[in-house]
Amino acid sequence: MEQALVIAAHGSHLNAESSTPTFTHADTIRATGAFGEVRESFWKEEPHFREVLRTVDADEVYLVPLFISEGYFTEQVIPREFRLDEWDPELWDSDGTSASHATLTAEDTGQTVHYCGPVGTHDSMSDVIVQRAKSVTDDPDVGEGFGLAVVGHGTERNENSAKAIEYHADRIAGMDRFDEVKALFMDEDPEVDDVTEFFESEDVVVVPQFIADGYHTQEDIPEDMGLCEDYRDGWGVPETVEGHRIWYAGAVGTEPLMADVVLERAADAGADVSAAIEQVRGETDGASATGD
C-alpha cells in the first residue's frame, strides 16, 4: 500500500489567500511522486480535518501540521479532529520544541497515522528562515553586516509560541552568519514595534514566523514597525526606518523551501522520501543547488 501525506493547516473563513502556501507546498511535494497521495486539509476550510482521511486511500498516512509552534492546535485540536483517540501529548515527549512523531490509529477510518510535530519547530526551519533572508535581499551570501529579526506572534496563552521563535533565533545565531539575531514578538516583549532599537546593524532582515501572508504580516506588523503609515500604501524592500534599512520578508511560510520541512517531518516519522527531499532542496533552495 502506498504512503500518503496529509498536510494540516489553519486556513481562514475571511482571507482567500490563507490556504495558498499549503496548496503550493503540497504541489511541490506531489510533483516529486514520493507519496501516492498528497492532501491538504484545514481547520477553517475544506477538506476539513474531520473529513480528509476518508478521502485518502492509503492505509498509512503521514500527517504534518503546517503550524509554527507546538501547543493548542498540535496537541489538542488536530488529534481530536482527526479522531486520533489514543493521542496523549506525552507521546511526543517534547519540551515545547522537540516533538518528532507518534504513531496512532484514526478511529473513523482505521488508518495508521504517523502524527508528526509541526513544521515550525523542525531544525530545518532555521534553514528556511535563512533562505527567506536570501530571497528578500536577493543575495545568497547575505549575513555579514546584517541583523536578522525572527518575529513571532507571541501569546501569554501558549509559552511554546515564543519558544519556537527563540529556538530558531538561537540556532541561527549559532551559525555566525548574521552580525546579530533577535527574536521579537507582536504581543509580548521584546516587541517588533521597536525593531530598530534592538539592532546596531544598519541593515536588518525581518522574517515573520507565520504560515501565510494575511492581516498580521501584511497589515499590522509593517505598520507597527513604521514601514508605512497605512498598509494600503505599501512599503519598499528595503524601507528606511530611523536610519536602519529594514528588509521585510513577509510570512516565512510562503518560502518554497518550506516544502522541504514538510518532507523532513515525514522522513523523521519513517516515510521513504530521501530522494524527494534532495529534489525539493535542489529546486527550492537556490543556494544549495549551487553548492552553498
Binding site for other proteins (CB under 8 A): 12-16, 23, 27, 43-48, 50-52, 54-55, 57, 72, 76-77, 80, 108
62 and 266 in contact (C-beta within 8 Å)?
yes
Pick between residue 67 and residue 199 the one whose CB is nearest to other proteins: 67
What letter would DSSP give residue 256? T
Closest distance to other proteins from the beta carbon of 135 (Å): 24
Closest distance to other proteins from the beta carbon of 290 (Å): 30
What distance in Å separates the CA atoms of residue 26 and residue 2, rounded to the nearest whole number? 17
Q: CA 115 → CA 8, 12, 48, 179, 216, distances in Å?
A: 10, 23, 17, 37, 28
245 and 204 in contact (C-beta within 8 Å)?
yes
Closest distance to other proteins from the beta carbon of 217 (Å): 18
Closest distance to other proteins from the beta carbon of 11 (Å): 9
Closest distance to other proteins from the beta carbon of 67 (Å): 14
Pick between residue 108 and residue 242 the one whose CB is nearest to other proteins: 108
Q: Retrieve residue 130's grid coordinates.
A: 535563512
**Peptide bond just before 79 cis, omega within 30 deg:** no
Q: Is the dihedral of CA 187, 190, 194, 199 positive or negative?
A: negative
Pick between residue 43 and residue 231 the one whose CB is nearest to other proteins: 43
Pick between residue 50 and residue 177 the one whose CB is nearest to other proteins: 50
Instruction: Give the number of C-alpha atoms closer than 13 A to the C-alpha of residue 275, restricted to the C-beta side.
Output: 7
Mapped onto helix, strand or coil, the DSSP state of residue 244 is strand
Pick between residue 30 and residue 245 the one whose CB is nearest to other proteins: 30
What distance in Å separates the CA atoms of residue 159 and residue 78, rounded to the nearest whole number? 19
Pick between residue 18 and residue 124 the one whose CB is nearest to other proteins: 18
**Peptide bond just before 21 cis, omega within 30 deg:** no
Q: 184 — phi, psi (to 5°)?
A: -125, 160
Closest distance to other proteins from the beta carbon of 193 (Å): 25
Closest distance to other proteins from the beta carbon of 81 (Å): 9
| Cα 42 from chain centroid (whole Å) | 15
Pick between residue 57 and residue 170 the one whose CB is nearest to other proteins: 57
